[in-house]
Amino acid sequence: MKEEIRKNLIIISIAIVIISFVGVYILTVTIFPLNTEPINYKEEWLDELPEVPDDLLLYKRDIITGTLSNICNIEEEYWKNPEFYPGWEKAKNSYYLHHSYSSWGAYGYGTYPADAGVNIKNLKEGEEIEFCTFFKAAFNIETYQGIKLESIENEYFKVEITPNEFLLEPTFPVFKEGWIKKLRIKITAKQDVPEGNYIVGFNVVFPDKETNEEMVWEVLRKDVPKDPEYIERCIESLKNNVYFSDQCESLYINRRKKYVSGGTYSIGRPFYTVKINVE
């Protein structure tokens, strides 16, 4: 009887939530009641990333205010650190300092910045415009996500994205080095462009079948050291629920080196847009 009640509790408690914040969309699966007791340990989730530069917040400030518009030249020690992005302090408290192992970050990715714009005069055939953005896994994601980006073009503009197919690595329990990619978006005029407003960009779609299969194998073959502290923290997080804390080892095994395909959901708009005003 008790076993039946426990099974029903798991089924009833399944929930899927999509959260939008600055172009990042998170799909979280909750498998049993939440317990967000603080987990007290050093900030080892940043151990695999470059050291945070002393002036990182100045770069962040100037991007937010629009003072710094050419982000292609920003060094990776800035953009690879989560502190560079809006929402980090809240995420740090919710997912890292007070993590609950009762939920699993399965899908989550997006761009920052999510939009760009330019005013340009007399745009002629063959002329190019280049932008950069950062495509990143959301905070608290434990899976490896296969991403393919599909250009949104029109009769006047060709759009090339580099890279346009890649593997995003997890952001929990530590930020792996490949949690984020810098993208270069090259926009080329196919012909002389009349005056007007134009929008191009890209969306996220399923990786090609062959590439998807390669990514599955790549993840399974990764040398990811076991993390015994993960299980200890899981038990501590769920200490008020003895039944589920007993399952922490199983949870850890099933969440390790897990691959998922991107492109499983849309947000009602492109993941990245460039607004071009030709005068």
Q: Which long-range contacts (CB under 8 A, 24 or more apart) does 163-167 make?
A: 164/202, 165/207, 165/208, 165/211, 167/215, 167/218, 167/219
In whole angstroms, what is the distance from residue 196 CA to residue 191 CA? 14
pLDDT of 21 over the 70 cut = no
pLDDT digits 0-9 by tens, 108-151:
999 999 999 999 999 999 999 999 999 999 999 999 999 999 99
pLDDT digits 0-9 by tens, 49-100:
999 999 999 999 998 888 887 899 999 999 999 999 999 999 999 999 989 8
Q: Which domains does the chain have, with CATH numbers?
A: 2-278 (2.60.40.2310)
Cα-Cα-Cα-Cα dihedral sign, residues 218, 253, 88, 114 = positive
Buried b (16+ CB within 10 A) or exposed e, 122-157: ebeeeeebebbbbbbbbbbbbbbbbbbbbbbbeebb
Cα-Cα-Cα-Cα dihedral sign, residues 219, 221, 227, 232 = positive
pLDDT digits 0-9 by tens, 229-270:
899 889 888 887 766 677 888 999 999 999 999 998 878 899
Q: Give pTM, 2 decimals.
A: 0.83
pLDDT digits 0-9 by tens, 205-228:
999 999 999 999 999 999 988 888
User: 259: which 2 tokens?
Assistant: 């691959």
Tell me, what's the pLDDT at 241?
73
Tell me, what's the pLDDT at 226?
87
Tell me, what's the pLDDT at 26?
52
pLDDT of 34 over the 50 cut = no
Tell me, what's the pLDDT at 239?
80
